[in-house]
């Protein structure tokens, strides 16, 4: 029996933590107490995400950021619902992360094959409005659409948040791939004026130059920084060889002569 229930222990933990959190918030009277509940919820979310793969952990924390924007708009700007202390409690952003994590982990359980976020959101809204943590207005501002407390379509609102998280993740990956692609291009070494003088001096000296070096010198003389027909690695290797050869040519060497003995009797 314990082996069968093992995949669901984290879901049971999250479903138990949520009503206890909301009950505690409905009893507090000071703002610092609400901040303490928020810090505790962040710790709970961090520990819970350790059980998820890295990609899912990134999605959960992206959900915290996206949901914070929706909470500020929905409560403080639009005013379609109001929290008890007329703010956005600190535990709300990580609470959205817990709901999102609940749905992600539910997809891997044997019983639930599709996302079951409506279970967590339903519990969240029913307990939250029952304890008085927040209250939905009978008529929504701007649109003047009647709503319940909580609204019957509240699960759809959470789906909008989840879809926004997926779009944010797609934009994040696209931006990250663009940065990774551009890093090797910006890291290609450029040839400075001193290297140009060194190459010109070797050409003007009439010394034999390898084809790769000649190709490099031709590219430099035409105003290009790197040679097209050869790779950056070959260019660097050619420049290093030319510098080493030039240093050896300029090094003062003294040849000591010794008398040659004639071994012939």
Residue 263 domain-assigned (yes or no): no
CA distance 157 to 148: 14
CA 165 to chain centre: 13
What DSSP designation does 136 have? E
Picking from 159, 183, 207, the residue at the C-terminal end of a domain is 183
Please tell me whether residues 56 and 168 are part of one structural domain.
Answer: yes
Please tell me whether residues 116 and 211 are part of one structural domain.
Answer: no
Residue 235 domain-assigned (yes or no): yes
Please tell me whether residues 171 and 206 are part of one structural domain.
Answer: no
Please tell me whether residues 121 and 58 are part of one structural domain.
Answer: yes
What DSSP designation does 146 have? B
Q: What pLDDT is recorded for position 260? A: 46
Among residues 161, 150, 224, 154, the alpha carbon closest in space to that of 190 is found at 224
pLDDT tens digit at each of 265 positions of the chain = 566 666 788 888 888 999 999 999 999 999 999 999 999 999 999 999 998 888 899 999 999 999 999 999 999 999 999 999 999 999 999 999 999 998 888 877 776 656 677 788 888 999 999 999 999 999 989 988 888 898 888 877 888 888 899 899 888 888 888 888 777 666 555 555 555 566 566 656 655 555 555 565 555 555 554 444 445 455 555 555 555 555 444 444 444 444 444 444 4
Please tell me whether residues 151 and 37 are part of one structural domain.
Answer: yes
Q: Which residues contact 18 (CB under 8 A, 6 or more apart)?
A: 95, 98, 120, 123, 124, 127
CA distance 109 to 145: 38
Please tell me whether residues 42 and 127 are part of one structural domain.
Answer: yes
Please tell me whether residues 27 and 131 are part of one structural domain.
Answer: yes
CA distance 142 to 160: 19
Helix residue spans in 78-153 (DSSP H): 92-106, 117-131
* Number of structural domains found in the chain: 2
Q: Are 257 and 228 in contact (CB under 8 A)?
A: no
Please tell me whether residues 107 and 237 are part of one structural domain.
Answer: no
Residue 145 domain-assigned (yes or no): yes
CA 139 to chain centre: 39
Please tell me whether residues 125 and 98 are part of one structural domain.
Answer: yes
Please tell me whether residues 57 and 143 are part of one structural domain.
Answer: yes
Domain that holds residue 71: 2-183
Partners of 81 in beta bridges: 136
């Amino acid at each position: 029996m314990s082996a069968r229930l093992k995949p669901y222990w984290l879901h049971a933990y999250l479903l138990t933590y949520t009503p206890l959190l909301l009950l505690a918030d409905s009893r507090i009277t000071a703002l610092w107490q609400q901040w303490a509940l928020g810090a505790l919820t962040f710790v709970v979310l961090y520990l819970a995400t350790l059980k998820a793969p890295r990609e899912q952990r990134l999605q959960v924390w992206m959900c915290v950021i996206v949901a914070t924007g929706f909470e500020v708009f929905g409560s403080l700007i639009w005013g379609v619902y109001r929290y008890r202390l007329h703010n956005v409690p600190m535990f709300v952003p990580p609470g959205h992360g817990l709901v999102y994590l609940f749905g992600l982990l539910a997809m891997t359980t044997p019983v639930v094959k599709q996302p079951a976020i409506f279970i967590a959101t339903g519990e969240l809204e029913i307990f939250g409005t029952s304890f008085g943590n927040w209250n939905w207005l009978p008529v929504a501002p701007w649109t003047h659409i009647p709503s319940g407390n909580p609204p019957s379509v509240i699960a759809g609102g959470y789906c909008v948040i989840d879809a926004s998280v997926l779009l944010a993740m797609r934009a994040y990956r696209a931006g990250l791939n663009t940065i990774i692609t551009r890093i090797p291009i910006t890291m290609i070494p450029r040839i400075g004026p001193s290297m140009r003088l060194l190459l010109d001096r070797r050409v003007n000296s009439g010394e034999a130059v390898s084809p790769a070096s000649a190709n490099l010198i031709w590219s430099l003389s035409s105003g290009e920084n790197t040679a097209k027909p050869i790779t950056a690695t070959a260019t660097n290797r050619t420049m290093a060889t030319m510098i080493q050869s030039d240093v050896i040519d300029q090094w003062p060497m003294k040849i000591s002569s010794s008398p040659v003995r004639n071994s012939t009797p």
